[in-house]
Amino acid sequence: QVQLVESGGGLVQAGGSLRLSCTASARTFSRYTMGWFRQAPGKEREFVAAIFRSSGNAYYSDAVKGRFTVSRDNAKSTVYLQMNNLKPEDTAVYYCAGDSGIILSSLRLPSQYDDWGQGTQVTVSS
């Protein structure tokens, strides 16, 4: 099992930016597809973005496409989520997740990820 530790959340005004980081304990980090999910109070956990293990291709939800960028540094076993032009509806707890066996068609499904971080709060004020 891989331990994931997120950082970088906080309070920001609408239109501002934050960068989340997620560092993994895995020595084979490059083999993991990494995803970012978020959960607002009273809502289900939803897919935000993912970066596939082999290709490094990035995928986004429609809600964040064009505003968020996911990237990875395999040498540091870290995945990032750069969030620009934040909106109040982006307020949520953000989680990173990883899995070494996930397939492309399933990377938007929380149930397909084995390893999860503890979450970091992002609050966007209007």
Q: Tokens in use for 95?
A: 């989680």
In angstroms, the CA 103 to CA 62 distance is 20
Sequence-separated (6 or more) residues with CB below 8 Å from residue 80: 19, 20, 21, 22, 69, 70, 71, 72, 73
Whether 10 shows a pLDDT value over 90: the answer reads: yes
DSSP, res 67: T
Q: What are the tens digits of pLDDT across the range 40-65?
A: 999 999 999 999 987 789 999 999 99
Q: Tokens in use for 84?
A: 């620009």
In angstroms, the CA 52 to CA 40 distance is 25
What mean pLDDT, rounded, does the chain reach?
95
Q: Confidence class of residue 26 from pLDDT cuts 50, 70 and 90?
A: confident
